Amino acid sequence: MLKAAASKYRPFPQIQLPERQWPGRVLSAPPTWCSVDLRDGNQALAVPMNVSQKLELFDALVRCGFKEIEVGFPSASNTEFTFIRRLIEEGRIPDDVTIQVLVQAREDLIDRTVHSLIGAKRSIIHLYNSTSPAQRRVVFGLSQPEIIEVARRGTRWIKDRLPLLSESQVRLEYSPESFSATEVEFSCDICTAVMEVWQPTVEHPIILNLPDTVEVAMPNVYADQIEWMIRHLPHRDRAIISVHTHNDRGTGVAATELALLAGAERVEGTLFGNGERTGNLDLVTVALNLYMHGIDPGLELGDISSLRDVYERCTGMTVPPRQPYAGELVFTAFSGSHQDAIKKGLQAWEKSTESGATPNWDVPYLAIDPADLGREYREVIRVNSQSGKGGVAYLLEREFGIELPKEMQREFGPIANDAVDRLGREVRGEELRAMFWREYVERTSPWKLDEFHVERKGGAVACSAHLRQNGISHQISGEGNGPIASFVHALVRHGVPRFEVVDYREHALGAGEGASAIAYIQIRLADGRALWGAGVDTNMELASIQAILSAVNRSEARPLK
């Protein structure tokens, strides 16, 4: 890299726009969406889609609710032309969906493009030519008036062929390609010239697509360009202002959202941002950004995983795991503090909805409810070496119904994290449960219970138990005001170092006659240490006795590895 970047690069010039209005506006409605996956997205693929793949993706776009879909560049290849003809001749296009085709301002290409649309009920012919100073100078060697005449001539050629599409509702879309790098005054002049030839009306407006073909400035500059055009365009009420952003600076979504504030009414882009170089605008992200602010985007994205599967199958591309909303890990927290906050937030949300109320979504670290996108809560929290007690407890409760007391979470969390750290990877729920079982439930050394009996006499309880200590049999007995107290008395009487039970919890694991119970017991030793134990049995009383032995065994041994 150059130490003096300014010797080679320069900042993009600012737009003179006194009292710009877009910074103070708030979005309240979605734009018209147009998917260009089948054209702009397709041309960016190393292996373009075949007809079958394009048909599958077209059907998926229709199911999502797209009413305008750019289906191809029919003059570019026989595959493109054949695909469009199949859509029309096989009646695959719903009556409320408009197909769009792209064409350069060349007469032979326009002629083939128009023929590809014969029989279509609703269509948009998307005409474009390049307008930036670099394109005019380096690529075409044409002056501004000559570039304007290219656009006017292309518009006339389309208009002259409209009788071939007499049974169709046809709209014209015009794009001054590289608008974002073009002088706004010239962009306005060429769009005005196209409108003069096409003669749109308020009832039948033209679409003026103002693309951020290559991001050359910050998104606020693009918004200024859009607002400037809207202020200066003659017969503004006869045009629909559309935007088409790319992601060269990584701000395609921001540029689109600011352009909408500036007055744009229509948005072109692709699913998950597929496109040339760093990609097109990600339509899913913009739509769900609106959704999370309480605006119905008009697209159905309630099964985003299935949509992602279709996209990946048809394009051969992969949605990154951190892709907004759709990525595998976007509803996942590894950080312990995040996991704890999410756990508490989800519990509060569920409690608030039990009464039938519909409170606003407000869960820490989750901008949107995963369930709205067909995702499951169990995907939210996963455990690795960075996780804390909250994530561990959440996963055990969600997947296995193990409701650890808060103090026990503080004890088991570090034990689990140490074990995961040694593994050096994420662990599944089943592995975490196995760690808990080994640490608590399967603690049968040095003491193992073979039999336990109680006898109630008035308000007192007497117990007898057969235990093995490192394989040696022992018969013990004790008394107390309940089974737990009598068993503690029996152990201490038999020589186990003195301890007391300071906490006891229990709950069922599952439902039905064969369901198990789990008991959690915390003991305090004479030296002040507090330890937890856990026991599982179909009999709750026996589960509590097992939990006592679990805690006693843990007091006499190092944690299991």
Domains by residue range for the chain, with CATH: 29-315 (3.20.20.70), 336-439 (no CATH), 447-555 (3.30.160.270)
pLDDT in the model for residue 561: 37
User: Can you tell me the distance from the alpha carbon of 281 to that of 446, in angstroms, rounded to the nearest whole number?
Assistant: 64
Give CA–CA dist 267/241, Å, rounded: 9
pLDDT at 376: 75
Predicted local distance difference test score (pLDDT) of residue 41: 93
Residue 303: what pLDDT?
96
For 274, how many CA atoms within 13 A lie in the half-sphere containing its CB? 24
Q: Mean pLDDT per segment of 10 residues, for the chain of length 561 residues?
A: 90 92 97 97 92 96 98 92 96 97 96 97 97 93 96 98 95 96 97 98 98 95 98 97 97 98 98 95 98 97 96 95 93 82 88 81 92 78 70 85 92 88 83 93 92 89 94 94 94 93 92 82 94 95 96 75 37
195: amino acid identity, one letter: M
Q: Which residues of 498-534 are buried (b: 16+ CB within 10 A; e: fewer)?
A: ebebeeebbeeeeeeeeeebbbbbbbbeeeeebbbbb
473 SS3 class: strand
Alpha-carbon distance of 272 to 37, in angstroms, equals: 10
Task: Please give the pLDDT value at position 381.
Answer: 63
pTM of the model: 0.78
- Residue 87: Cβ within 10 Å count: 24
Q: Which residues sit opposite 282 in a β-bridge?
A: 270
Q: Exposed, middle or buried by CB within 10 Å (0-12, 13-18, 19+), for 56?
A: middle
Whole-number pLDDT of residue 514:
67
